[in-house]
Chain A
C-alpha cells in the first residue's frame, strides 16, 4: 500500500496510508457510470436547398436559365414518378415501384436509389469535377405523407455521387443533386 511518512513519534501516529483499494473501486464505478450514461450518438444532416417557394421576384426569375431538372413525385401509393423537365417540357419520364425496406424503425427505398443513379448517369448535365453547378431535383409530396418517408426519398435522391474539385487539385465525392421541395 502507498503511504505517507511525515515523521512524528507522538501518541498518535502521523503516518497515514492512502487506501488504494477503495480508490480503485471508486474509479471503476466512475468508469462504469460514464460508460453507461454516455450518449454515443452519431447525428448527421441531409441538406435541402431552398430556392423554395418564397415571394415571387420577377426580376430574379428572368435570370434563371432553363435547365433540366429531375422531378420526383411521391404521390402514388404504388410507384414513384421520375420526370426530367426542361422548363415545362417533359424530356423523359419513368416509373419506379414503391418497394420499401425496413431498417429497424426506419425505411429505405433501395430500388428508387438505384433508378435515380441510373437516371443521373444517363440524363445528368453537371458531371465534370470542375463544374461548380449541380443538377437539381424537386420533390413533390402529398401533405399527409409522414416525414420518415420524405427523408427516405431524399436519401435516395442523394445516392448518386460525383467528383467535385475543391481547389489545389484535390477532388472529393459529393452528392450529384441539390434538392428542394415543390411548392404545390
Chain B
C-alpha cells in the first residue's frame, strides 16, 4: 500500500464506535424494549418441574415395556425365521430346538444330534415324558377345564426338517395337537 493513499474504513482494524442502533430514537416504549423493560421479559426460565415429570413418565413407560418384552424367553442359540402371515402369540409351553439340544421351558428334553443320527422320524421319549407331566399338572390345577393342547416350537432356522417333524409328532402324541412355530414378524407386501 502507498503512504499517500487514504485508508478506507474497511482497512482500519479498530474504529471509534458510532451511534448504537435505535438509541437515537426518542420514543420511550422503543427504549424500554431495547433494555428489556417492556411488557414481556426477555429472560425466560426453563420450567424444570414439568420437564422432570415428563422424564419420569418416560422412565416409567420404558420400565413397564422393558419387563413385558422380557416375558418371551428366547433361547440364545436359536435364530428364528420370519414370516408374513403369522398370528399373535399365545401362552403355552415352549419347546426350543437348537442345533444341539431340545429344551422344554428351559429343561433339557433330548438331543437334536441323536434324532439326526437316527435318520428317521421318531418319538423323543424324554420330550414325551416331560410334556405328559406338564399336561397332567395342568389338568390337576384346572379340573373340569378342557385342556387346550397348545405348544409353541422355537426352532433354529438351520435345523433339519426331520427334527422338527419328530418333535411335532411327539408333541401330538403327548396330547398337544395345536402346534405353533414361533417366528419373527415380516411386513406384508
Contact = CB atoms under 8 A, between A and B. Distances in A.
A pairs with B? yes
Interface of A: 2, 20, 23-24, 27-28, 30-31, 34-35, 37-55, 103-106, 108, 110, 141-148, 150-152, 154-155, 158-159, 175, 181, 183
Contacts of A108: 84, 186
A35 B62 contact: yes
Contacts of A42: 184-185
A51 B169 CA distance: 10
Interface in B146-179: 152, 155-162, 164-165, 168-169, 171-173, 176-179
Nearest to B164: A147
B156 A46 contact: no
Given A30-B59, A31-B59, A146-B157, A43 B185 contact: yes
A24 B121 CA distance: 60
B58 interface: yes
17 contacts: A27-B55, A31-B55, A31-B62, A46-B183, A47-B180, A50-B172, A50-B178, A51-B177, A52-B169, A53-B121, A105-B157, A148-B157, A150-B161, A151-B82, A151-B83, A159-B85, A181-B165
B157 A24 contact: no
Contacts of B79: 105
Contacts of B159: 146-147
Given A42-B185, A150-B164, A151-B82, 19 more contacts: A24-B55, A27-B52, A31-B55, A44-B184, A45-B88, A45-B89, A45-B90, A45-B183, A46-B83, A47-B179, A49-B177, A52-B168, A54-B173, A108-B186, A145-B160, A146-B161, A147-B160, A155-B83, A155-B86
Given A50-B177, A106-B82, A142 B161 contact: yes
Interface in B48-106: 48-49, 51-52, 55-56, 58-59, 62-63, 65-66, 69-70, 72, 74, 79-90
Interface of B: 48-49, 51-52, 55-56, 58-59, 62-63, 65-66, 69-70, 72, 74, 79-90, 119, 121, 152, 155-162, 164-165, 168-169, 171-173, 176-186, 189
Contacts of B171: 50
Interface of B is mostly: mixed
Contacts of B83: 44, 46, 151-152, 154-155, 158
Nearest to A150: B161
B172 A46 contact: no
B186 A24 contact: no
Contacts of B161: 141-147, 150
